[in-house]
Amino acid sequence: MKKFIFSLLFIISGTSGVWAQDNTLLVYGNMAYNSQQGSTATTSSYNFSPGVGYQWNNNWTGGINLGIGSASLNPSGAKTSSLSIGPFVRYTQPLSGIFTIFGQFNADYFSGKLDYLSGTSDVTKYSGFQGTLFPAIGVNLKNNFALNFTFGSLSFASQKFDGSIGAFTSFHLAFGSGVGFGISKNFGLKK
């Protein structure tokens, strides 16, 4: 199944370049780190989400994104780790020479594991699919760099834990709560 999914992602990313006219490569990424300390416990987590896509005209971009995450809770030693990969499509509309708005849809396959007590065999693995649609504002800086601000999302996920009979599904809608920040760069390619 994993080979089929990765083959499908490769085909989707390869065919997005067939319609390319503008010949621009978009590279973007988001990074997050969170640490909380209480009187009896400390938690920390990080997430790194890079992506690369081909912009075939002034409005449409398609490509692949990746997500890597981890979290830990001390002193119990509980840990989680996750990996996601999938295609994305982005529609961008310039507002002025500085500002653009865009909507992006990510379709990701994800997997991970929950290690309840570090060093034991008490590990639960999971996998699933997720679709996320989010709006964003881009602020063009210099040399094709941009700062991107997201301000909500709509997502649906279905995941299954190893050993369970059914899948767990979730629906998430947030608008205006939780702002994300990222950076992107467009590279012109030779025609």
Domain extents in the chain: 2-188
Q: For position 168, what pLDDT does the model report? A: 87
Q: For position 15, what pLDDT does the model report? A: 33
Return the CATH number of the domain spanning residue range 2-188.
2.40.160.20
- Average pLDDT of the chain? 83
Q: For position 107, what pLDDT does the model report? A: 97
Q: Please write the tens of the pLDDT for every residue from 127-160.
A: 999 999 999 999 999 888 999 998 888 999 999 9
- Split at pLDDT 50, 70, 90, the class of 20 is very low
Strand, helix or coil at 3? helix
Q: Please write the tens of the pLDDT for every residue from 172-189.
A: 888 766 677 889 998 887
DSSP label of 56: -
Residue 165 has pLDDT above 90, yes or no: no
The count of other CB atoms within 10 Å of the CB of residue 126 is: 18
Q: For position 117, what pLDDT does the model report? A: 67
Residue 89 has pLDDT above 70, yes or no: yes
Q: How far apart (Å, rounded) are the C-alpha atoms in residues 86 and 108?
A: 4
Q: For position 137, what pLDDT does the model report? A: 93
Q: What is the pTM of this model?
A: 0.78
Greater pLDDT, 30 or 156: 156
Residue 119 has pLDDT above 80, yes or no: no
Residue 65 has pLDDT above 50, yes or no: yes
Residue 50 has pLDDT above 90, yes or no: yes
Q: For position 34, what pLDDT does the model report? A: 85
Span 155-171, mean pLDDT?
A: 89
Residue 9 has pLDDT above 80, yes or no: no
What is the Cα 41 distance to its own chain's centre? 29
Residues sharing a CB contact under 8 Å with residue 51, sequence separation 6 or more, in sequence order: 26, 27, 28, 29, 63, 64, 65, 66, 88
Question: Residue 26: CA atoms inside 13 Å, Cβ hemisphere, count?
Answer: 32
